[in-house]
Structure 1
Amino acid sequence: MTTNYLTIMMKHFEHMNIEVAAAAATVLDSVSLKEREDTYDCHRFLYVKEGEGKLIAQDREIPLAKGTLCILLSGMPHRIVLEPDRTITFQWCHFRSSYEDRDLYRTLQIPIYLHLGDEHQSESSALFERLFEEIARDGLTSRLKIKATMLELISIYLDNLSLNDNGAPTEEMQKIDLVLKYIDDHLADNITIENLAKQVYLHPNYFIVFFKGILGSSPIQYVNLRRMEIAKGLLLQPDCNVSSVASKVGMQIYYFSRMFKAHTGLTPSRYRKQAASVSNVQATRGEDH
């Protein structure tokens, strides 16, 4: 799993709208599950709270045990198998997202299961409990709290991913990887849509649609965001003044200052002073301890 792969996932989840359709805890036994295969038109989070069994999905037999967290995509047939006289307790939720029609989850090849470390097991179970409470409460702020809880669950999932979990990258991911590397290597240059499209042999018009479908923003929006992210780091370095930072990210100083203020709410100079002030306070506190 490359850094760019993680970048794509982060951008996707940052901008994703999530709607939780249902959530509950369920105890299943071998009798009720006999020969039962499920397919849903929404995504599913399944967390094993207690018990053991197997999940059959994508022609694979996946072991289930306490701490296993699964994400099953819409339209994915799956079934759970238990030994005779055994039970398994799941906490689960069904959800939809704003990116479903782009099939982005499959493009990213997010693994459908992982086993959480001990430090994340109780945290995940508590998040599901919070989902249940907010869905039942249906208060004024419940939808916001439900989305925040879902993002926490997704964050735990991503935190526990192994660098090799996603397997060989798809052709789309290989193309995006090339483009993102090109952007980072040429931030000081004049980057055009034509330059970017040429890297992956796509027509510029199609490339814009392709890029936005995976990153959630236009290529130029992404380039400018990367410039601002890099600039923030450079402004923290004592030997980089505002003019040199603007040059390093390929922008005229006036345009850079205006865009930086629009992005952060602070001028580059003010940002430097603020960051230096915070560093001094932290250093002082460290000396006090």
Structure 2
Amino acid sequence: MMTTTNYLTIMMKHFEHMNIEVAAAAETILDASSLKDREDTYDCNRFLFVKEGQGKLIVHDKEIQLVQGKLCILLSGIPHRIALESEEKLTLQWCHFRSSYEDRDLYRTLQIPFHIQVTNEQEEISALFKRLFEQLSLDRLTSRLKIKAIMLNLISLFLDNLSIAGNGTPTEDMQKIDIVLRYIDEHLADNITVENLSKQVFLHPNYFIVFFKGILGYSPIQYVNLRRMEMAKSLLLQPECNVSAVASKVGMQIYYFSRMFKAHTGLTPSRYRKQATSFVATGAKSHEEEDDRK
């Protein structure tokens, strides 16, 4: 069974690298008379959010109940249609977008559900769509950056409400990636090579590099070094770990480690430790003062 941590790691790395272009967005009120009884297939992805009302979304002959708070991501090329009974109405906030990744392949590999029921963040999501409509109409120099920020926020809320459990048996590709990610985390102190990693899943090193980058967005060694830096930041917060010990735990000579850490964070390991521990201490003191005032 694939670990939740590795599942989320793959999704986060994918979305960190993804470029998003929103083609259109609006709020639409639907009733039975406004709908044609046919399937639609778009060459872009669709975000649909039910602001009010109810109806049905039919995808691959499967009916999904559309009620207030339902949020759906429909990938390009997927036939679907919305159906309403004669007395039903539906207020949808939606957008059409494209991205830089082959989303359908990744979503199929990750087995991500394409619809969720949002409970606590309905007003927040509706407000994000309104901001999206506004930025699309303004077309200012900074609008594209703001639009991307809004879309990433919407995706984050989708993931926050996503139930990872019960998604079925992981695909073969996901099982292989899970094995590799576990191996990396268990051997960060060792000399990890592409050959080491490819052997874990019985793939040729050249093919393995393409396979790994296609899912994580990084080459295997880039990802290994990133994990080492993430681990180092955590270890530097532990009083018993000096810089030399941290370098050893992530499998690097201290000089090379210090140079890579500074390139990654903009701070030397010692400076990072000092600032981070000072911030933690200040935060703890603030909480104590707040408790004293209560």
TM-score band, normalised by the shorter chain?
A: over 0.9
Q: CA deviation at 1:211?
A: 0.4
Q: CA deviation at 1:108?
A: 1.7
Aligned pairs (5 A) from 1:172-251: 172-251=173-252
- Per-residue CA deviations over 1:193-224 (Å, capped at 9, x if unaligned) read 00111111110000000000010010000000
Q: CA deviation at 1:30?
A: 1.2
Q: What is aligned with 1:52? A: 54
Label 1:2 to 1:280 Cα distance change in 2 as closer, same or farther (>3 A).
closer
Q: What is aligned with 1:265? A: 266
Question: Which runs of 5 or more structure 2 residues have no equivalent in the other structure?
Answer: none
Q: CA deviation at 1:101?
A: 6.9
- Per-residue CA deviations over 1:129-157 (Å, capped at 9, x if unaligned) read 00000000101110000000000000000
- AA matched with 1:147: K
Q: What is aligned with 2:68? A: 66
Question: Which runs of 5 or more structure 1 residues have no equivalent in the other structure?
Answer: none
Q: What is aligned with 1:129? A: 130
Q: CA RMSD in A?
A: 1.2
Q: CA deviation at 1:280?
A: 2.2
Structure 2 SS opposite 1:277 = helix
Aligned pairs (5 A) from 1:107-126: 107-117=109-119, 119-126=120-127
Q: Distance in 2 between matches of 1:140 and 1:124?
A: 24
Is the contact made by 2:75 and 2:103 (CA closer than 8 Å) also made in structure 1? Answer: no
Identity over aligned pairs, percent: 75
Matched, 1:95 2:85: no
Structure 1 runs (4+) greater than 6 angstroms displaced = none
Q: CA deviation at 1:55?
A: 0.8
* Residue 83 (structure 2) aligned to one of 70, 73, 81: 81
TM-score by length of 2: 0.95
Structure 2 SS opposite 1:191 = coil
Q: CA deviation at 1:278?
A: 1.0
Q: CA deviation at 1:107?
A: 1.8
Matched, 1:7 2:9: yes
TM-score by length of 1: 0.97
Label 1:266 to 1:196 Cα distance change in 2 as closer, same or farther (>3 A).
same
Higher alpha-carbon deviation: 1-10 or 191-200 = 1-10
Q: CA deviation at 1:102?
A: 7.5
Is the contact made by 1:208 and 1:219 (CA closer than 8 Å) also made in structure 2? Answer: yes
Structure 1 SS opposite 2:121 = helix
Q: CA deviation at 1:109?
A: 1.8
